[in-house]
Amino acid sequence: MRSSGRRRGRVYRRCGCRDADRRQLGAKCPRLAEESHGTWTFAVDIPSLNGRRRTVRRSGFEDEWHAETALRGLLKGRLSGFDANPHETVAAYLTRWLKSMEFLLKPTTYARYRTYVLGELIPVFGEMRLEELAHDHIAAYTHQQLEAGRGRQALYHCLATLSSALGTAVRTHRLPFNAAQPLPMRRPRADERVPWSAEQAVDFLIHCRDADPAFADLFETIIGTGLRLGEALGLQRPCVRIDDRVMYIRHTLSAIDNHELVLTAPKTRKSRNWVPLSDRVAAALQRASTRSTPDTNDHVFQDPKGKPLHPAAVRRRFHELREQAGLPHVTIHDLRHLAATIALEGNVSMAVISKTLRHSTLSTTANIYSHLTWEVAMAAVHTIEARLCLVEARAQNAAASSFISHAPNPLFSHTA
């Protein structure tokens, strides 16, 4: 047994042989003189929270160099705040990483990560050593899932979760590289959505007012402001200023595992902002506030029992009302798209639309909500045509005037 230089730790060879009393001989086995007997081990004493030192041992290394390298990795890892266990499995690392993310992520994001880690990643890669996980393992899993008909969106998010976990290992020097990068598949493009027209939206709202006035006010608010569903359901009474025609987005209501309702921060930093209210939306919010019960909670939109509306229940009711109105299939999030499209049809600038929808950047608005309706597209090409025709007519008039001014006048012409 020898010390590893000036660093804490010992590297030695040991075996599993036992004496007559069935006690392990460890490093005292006489057969360790044989080069092929036993394996290399390292041991290091590290402090614990109670002030005592505990010994960490790792064995099973084929030679002294590998044991020394693992010891250096563990000591280096402790300087970065983690235990670089050379035998750590993917399952152990992902479990530890998931626990470290619990108080850093929004509850809904954490629940989604937990589903992917426990339900998919650990069953597939869990038994492998973390250092042995390679890109070809992840690529093979991806191809297998796609060939089995797995949804591309769900698979992409699962791989992105794995990449996030391995990225943390790289940033903390636990791993030299991220085996999940680049991802073995491209991010799937979202299906192009065709929103309702303004006429269809009005038909829907008229039907809702007759069939379910409470939900009519909710959908009036979403269409009139472009709120996300969670933002509308998380809207609090003190955040609505009817007289000032403004409301402040401070929360979003989400369902963890589609069950527990929680109020979390809005999607992005810029989502936490103010939104102006039109007279229609102000009236809808006024009716909803009057209808809700302030004794139970401060939510503007509540169910008949005075509890916050569950997002899944709202989606179900939306599709029931949509089918009753005989309108094409869209999602509630498409109502946000509808709000942007109506504003675009009214020649509202993209910058103003981006501000109203509270996107993080103007490019986000341009990429997601720049879908032009036929009328807007035709207006654009007709504008180009009219401008070109006007300039061309001016050029032709100028050329004709120049020709007339330079033509010889027969009244003053002389013959030879």
pLDDT in tens, 284-334: 999 998 887 776 678 999 988 888 999 999 999 999 999 999 999 999 998
Instruction: Classify residue 262: in a domain, yes or no.
Output: yes
Beta-carbon contacts of residue 146 (< 8 Å; ≥ 6 apart): 152, 155, 185
- Whether residue 48 is found in the same domain as residue 133: no
Q: Is the pLDDT of residue 3 over 80?
A: no
Separation between Cα atoms, residue 227 and residue 249, nearest integer Å? 9
The answer to whether 216 and 201 are in contact (CB under 8 A) is: no
CA distance 388 to 382: 10
Give whichever of 97-111, 139-153, 351-365 has the largest mean pLDDT: 139-153
Q: Judge whether residue 416 has pLDDT over 50.
A: no
* 28 and 66 part of one domain: yes
| pLDDT the model gives residue 370 | 53
Q: Give the tens place of pLDDT for each residue, 78-95.
A: 776 666 677 789 999 999
Residue 106 lies in a domain: yes
| In a shared domain, residues 158 and 279 | no
231 and 345 together in one domain? yes
Alpha-carbon distance of 54 to 60, in angstroms, equals: 20
Same domain, 6 and 142: no
> Which residues span the domain enclosing 351?
198-369
Calpha distance 56→380 (Å, rounded): 71
- Structure tokens given for 320: 């029931």
Residue 403 domain-assigned (yes or no): no
Task: Describe the crossing of helices 213-225 and 279-291 by its angle, rounded to 10 degrees.
Answer: 140
Q: Are strands 260-264 and 252-256 parallel, antiparallel or unpaired?
A: antiparallel
> Does residue 358 share a domain with residue 221?
yes
Residue 267 sits in the same domain as residue 328: yes
| Pairing label, strands 274-276, 246-248 | antiparallel
Does the predicted TM-score (pTM) go above 0.85? no
Judgement on whether residues 306 and 207 belong to the same structural domain of the protein: yes
Q: Do 214 and 356 fall into the same domain?
A: yes
Q: Please count the structural domains in the chain.
A: 3
